[in-house]
Chain A
Amino acid sequence: MNGRLPLAALAAAFLAGAALISPASAQTAVKIGILGDRSGAYSDISGEGSVVAARLAVEDFKPEQHGLKVEIVSADHQNKPDVGAAIARQWYDRDNVDMITDGVTSSVALAISQVTKEKNKVFIDTGAGTADLTGPQCSPNTIHWVYDTVALANGTGGAMVKRGGNTWFFLTADYVFGQTLQRDTTAVITKNGGKVVGSVKTPFPTADFSSFLLQAQSSGAKVIGLANAGADTINSIKQAGEFGITEGGQSLAGLLVFSSDVHSLGTKVAQGLVLTEPFYWDLNDQTRAFSDRFSKQMKGSKPTSNHAGVYSDVLHYLKAVAETKSVADGAATVAKMKAMPTDDPLFGKGVIRADGRKIHDMYLFEVKKPAESKGEWDLYKKLETIPGDQVFRPLGEGNCPLVKG
């Protein structure tokens, strides 16, 4: 942050000078659209929190000092790709939105990415898991900010095998996302010398997992991998506790778990669960300061890594726009963002790769025992830091057309 200040000050001084000459044309108008789930299964991960995070980023950036005038709009894509694509199209065509972020839910993210490329705008996805966004379906207009299925698999899968959890049984939500998660994790497990002994496809969504848990239990696998998300994950963990799965010596691995999910479960039920996230509110002083400001506006909730991602990407986007002074060419803005190293209070230093993958460290967490937890949001203890260059898929392996060129 410090390194950038003189530059920013210089730009501000220059713009202040420019403002004296022609006050009307000095400000570049920037419109940011937060397109997330505001009513469905992922609205606690995304929803209003993403809007709050974006506002905080704008507040911290102080756009008026950089000659920018920033406006934020938001909408609900209801986790439906057609709704997401339609809103994105309308925002770009009619409402002069320059950049869309959040984009939770993989299917919707892929749809928004298509539209963004067609209209040459900018899409920074924080909430979706699919690694295809920076793989076969990568786009010069899209950046994938927070995590992806490969990183989660590397994080949780790799760590569990190293800790002795070498036989796995998967509970896989029966849709593309769940199957991708299982596929990626299986690859990591076998690479590390582990073995997958079985899996069961559960309809999406499912309220009662007991039957599937029983199948997992009788498989004798050391680790039960939960290749699902949202309410499915919550229900499966809750019921695993009830059926004494962990007491029987098996451990649970949540392949996509957010702190809001763990908060909902409570430490009593979720204790011992191992998971991977790139952000946790209680990591350091900077994350705590941000989280305090966030929770004042969010009825006391702490930010999830998706919210942190929105804050971080809006900040970086505005930095890039402050330099290019134009939002007209989305691909050019993304190129500029890739050229600048990223640095923010929440994710620290990082880079954006040619395929659009933002690289930062991820953390392996374990959910605390009730006795260790000092408050309702005191949820994780950090087991290890996984460096960004190890946790994400290597640049050459994603089959992204942008990389070959």
Chain B
Amino acid sequence: MADTAALDAAPIAASLPENRDDKALQRKIFVGLAVLLIVAPTVLYPVYLMKVLCFALFALAFNLLLGYGGLLSFGHAAYFGMASYLSAYSAKVLGLTPELAILTGTATAALLGLVFGALAIRRQGIYFSMITLALAQMAFFFALQAKFTGGEDGIQAVPRGALFGAFRLDDDRAMYALVAVVFFLGMLAIYRIIHSPFGQVLKAIRDNESRAISLGYRVNQYKLAVFVLSATLAGLAGSTKAIVFQLASLTDVHWSMSGEVVLMTLVGGMGTVFGPIVGALVIVSMETYLAQFGAWVTVIQGCVFVLCVLLFREGVVGLIARTLHKPL
């Protein structure tokens, strides 16, 4: 039980040895992604793309904690959702420019992550998960009761405003450009974290906590740091989403949102660099294109869950990585 790292599929993909060639391949993928980000809005509907990117960043942030820190949080909706509330509130009521609103939201998530993380990392395994869930439920209760969140109506009609007070974001293409930049920077940040000495220690803790302790690492400080980083980036995703959709609502703090991000990470491949992006793409597309099937949506989603768990636990990207024998 103490060995939280026993997420069997994750090490398969993540523990493949990395060499210089692999780094070059990952760099190529980054360039490819950048090109895709530029080309995509000419082919696809930008609002849909923005939704995918916001959730992709959310899933990447979550994966940082689960895939590399070995910590399964059931309460990530709290950081995503509370950040989106604060971002919407500061844009609408305080009249801040979008970049400041997003920063406010992100800072809130960081702070919340620090408090919740400090409590949660004191326990391990399923108990850790349960504490994060319970704390997130309290955040939900707060969001429901507090006056400024507008109850189940949420904060609506949030102005997109003008970036740095100069560039209007009302046009979807302008907004998309901002979201794409935020997403790309977020992704690069996570990549840097994973490949830094800090990231190496994290992986060591994930794989064998006792060994890391015996080597003299202050395990809890590392855990807390990665928790806060993950919450902050999740908050960045949530804040951006609030500005894009001009809305912050209870959906984003509800526990089912925490479940959704787990699903995205699982489908894409946890512990892989690019997996969560694919996962977010799959899940958001499913929700968008299956909306017309009504009640069948949940049945189809359920089937995807079951098939994922039974047939490809490594996720889409994890499977590709294993086939190619390269970490992705």
Contact = CB atoms under 8 A, between A and B. Distances in A.
Contacts of A339: none
Given A75-B292, A90-B288, A176-B152, A82 B251 contact: yes
A297 interface: no
A76 B297 contact: yes
Nearest to B296: A39
B151 interface: yes
A112 to B, nearest CB: 10
Contacts of B246: 85, 114
Interface of A: 38-39, 43, 47-48, 73-76, 80-83, 85-87, 89-90, 93-94, 106-107, 110-111, 114, 174-177, 179, 204
Interface in B130-165: 144, 150-154, 156-157
Nearest to A83: B251
Interface of B: 45, 47-48, 51, 144, 150-154, 156-157, 172, 245-247, 249, 251-252, 287-288, 291-295, 297-298
Contacts of B157: 114
Contact of B144 (A38, A107, A174): A174
29 contacts: A39-B297, A39-B298, A43-B295, A76-B293, A76-B295, A76-B297, A80-B249, A80-B251, A81-B156, A81-B251, A82-B245, A82-B252, A85-B246, A85-B247, A86-B47, A87-B291, A89-B47, A90-B47, A90-B48, A93-B47, A94-B45, A106-B153, A107-B153, A107-B249, A111-B156, A111-B247, A114-B157, A176-B151, A204-B152
Contacts of B144: 174-175
A176 B249 CA distance: 13
B81 to A, nearest CB: 11
Contacts of B153: 81, 106-107, 110, 176
Contacts of A111: 154, 156, 247
B152 A177 contact: yes
Contacts of A80: 249, 251
A175 B146 CA distance: 11
Contact of A110 (B51, B156, B245, B291): B156
A106 B154 CA distance: 11
A114 B47 CA distance: 16
Contacts of A110: 153, 156
A179 B295 CA distance: 29
Contacts of A90: 45, 47-48, 288
Nearest to B44: A94
Q: 8 closest pairs, A vs B, by CB?
A: A38-B294, A176-B151, A75-B291, A39-B295, A107-B153, A80-B251, A175-B152, A107-B152
A43 B45 CA distance: 29
Contacts of B51: 86
Contacts, number: 83
Contacts of B249: 80-82, 107
A2 to B, nearest CB: 38
Given A76-B291, A81-B156, A81-B249, 10 more contacts: A38-B294, A75-B291, A76-B292, A76-B295, A76-B297, A82-B245, A86-B245, A90-B45, A107-B154, A176-B151
A48 B156 CA distance: 28
A81 B154 CA distance: 8
Contacts of A82: 154, 245, 247, 249, 251-252
Contact of B294 (A47, A89, A174, A176): A47
Contact of B247 (A38, A47, A81, A93): A81
Contacts of A86: 47, 51, 245, 288
Given A73-B292, A86-B51, A114 B156 contact: yes
Contacts of B294: 38-39, 43, 47-48, 74-76
A39 B298 CA distance: 8
Contacts of B150: 176
A109 to B, nearest CB: 10
Contacts of A179: 151
B58 to A, nearest CB: 14
Nearest to B47: A89
A76 B154 CA distance: 19
A247 B20 CA distance: 81
A74 B151 contact: no
Contacts of A85: 245-247
A179 B247 CA distance: 22
Contacts of B293: 76
Contacts of A39: 294-295, 297-298
Contacts of A73: 292
B281 to A, nearest CB: 16
Nearest to B291: A75
B292 A74 contact: yes
Nearest to A38: B294
Nearest to B245: A82
A128 to B, nearest CB: 11
B301 to A, nearest CB: 11
Contacts of B45: 90, 93-94
Contacts of A204: 152
A75 B45 CA distance: 18
**Best-buried of A43, A76, A85, A90 by chain B (most CB within 10 Å):** A76
